[in-house]
Amino acid sequence: MASAGSAVGLGNLWRFPTETGQHGGSAFLIVYLICVVCLGLPVMISEFVIGRSAHVSVGRAYSVLVPGSRWKWVGRLEVLTPFLILCYYNVVAGWTLRYAWESATGGFVKMASSGAGNAYESFFASFVSSAWQPVVCLFLFMAATHFVVVQGVSKGIERWSKVLMPGLFLILVFLVVSALTMSGAAEGLAFLFKPDFSKVDASVVLSAMGQAFFSLSLGMGILTTYASYFNDDADLGKSALSISAIDTFVAILAGMFIFPAVFTAGVAPSEGSSLLFIALPNVFQSVFGDLWILSYIVSLAFYLLLIVATLTSTISIHEAVTSYLVESFEWSRRKAATVVSCLCGSIGVLCALSIGAVPELTIGEMSLFDAFDYVTAKWLLPMGGLFITLFAGWRLSKQILLSEMTNRGTKSFALFKLLVFAIKWFCPVGIVLVFLNELDLLSF
Say how far apart CA 184 and CA 288 lie, in whole Å: 12
Q: In b/e form, how buried is each residue of 1-15, taking b as 16+ CB within 10 angstroms?
A: bbbbbbbbbbbbbbb
216 domain residue, yes or no? yes
433 domain residue, yes or no? yes
User: How deeply is 368 buried, as exposed, middle or buried, from its count of CB atoms within 10 A (0-12, 13-18, 19+)?
Assistant: buried
Query: 283: domain range?
Result: 2-438
| Inter-helix orientation angle 292-329/72-104, to 10° | 150
266 domain residue, yes or no? yes
The SS3 call for residue 367 is: strand
Helix/strand number for the chain, H first, E second: 23, 2
Say how far apart CA 439 and CA 444 lie, in whole Å: 14
Q: Shortest CA distance to 137 belongs to which of 89, 80, 171?
A: 89
Say how far apart CA 85 and CA 317 lie, in whole Å: 8
Confidence of residue 362 (pLDDT cuts 50, 70, 90): very high
pLDDT tens, 98-108?
Answer: 999 999 998 88
Quote the pLDDT of residue 115.
Answer: 64
Residue 135's CB is within 10 A of a number of other CB atoms, namely: 19
Q: What DSSP designation does 199 have?
A: G
Contacts of 118 (CB under 8 A, 6+ apart): none
111 domain residue, yes or no? yes
Quote the pLDDT of residue 409.
Answer: 87
444 domain residue, yes or no? no
pLDDT at residue 442 greater than cutoff 80:
no
Quote the pLDDT of residue 273.
Answer: 60
pLDDT tens, 247-264?
Answer: 999 889 988 988 888 888
pLDDT at residue 119 greater than cutoff 90:
no
Cross-strand partners of 362: 367
Quote the pLDDT of residue 137.
Answer: 96
Say how far apart CA 307 and CA 346 lie, in whole Å: 21
Q: How many structural domains does the chain have?
A: 1
Say how far apart CA 359 and CA 137 lie, in whole Å: 19
User: How deeply is 273 buried, as exposed, middle or buried, from its count of CB atoms within 10 A (0-12, 13-18, 19+)?
Assistant: exposed
Q: Shortest CA distance to 335 belongs to which of 349, 321, 347?
A: 321
What's the start-to-end Cα distance of the chain, in Å? 39
Quote the pLDDT of residue 421.
Answer: 95
Quote the pLDDT of residue 270.
Answer: 66
Q: What DSSP designation does 231 have?
A: -
CATH number of residue 298's parent domain: 1.10.4160
Mean pLDDT calculated for residue range 228-234: 90
CA distances to 4, 43, 201, 294, 329 from 319, rounded to whole Å, are 14, 20, 38, 38, 15
Mean pLDDT calculated for residue range 338-365: 95
Quote the pLDDT of residue 163.
Answer: 84
Q: What DSSP designation does 229 have?
A: T
Say how far apart CA 19 and CA 73 lie, in whole Å: 33
| Inter-helix orientation angle 236-265/26-35, to 10° | 170
Mean pLDDT calculated for residue range 211-239: 89
The sign of the dihedral angle between the CA atoms of 272, 10, 52, 231 is negative
Identify which of 149-158, 272-281, 284-293 has the greatest average pLDDT. 149-158
For residue 363, report the phi and psi dihedrals to the nearest 5 degrees: -125, 110
Mean pLDDT calculated for residue range 292-317: 88
The share of the chain scoring above pLDDT 90, in percent, equals: 51
pLDDT at residue 275 greater than cutoff 70:
yes
Q: Shortest CA distance to 6 belongs to which of 155, 151, 221?
A: 221
Q: What is the largest CA-CA distance in the chain?
A: 68
Q: Shortest CA distance to 275 belongs to which of 292, 290, 254?
A: 254
Q: Shortest CA distance to 306 belongs to which of 72, 92, 55?
A: 92
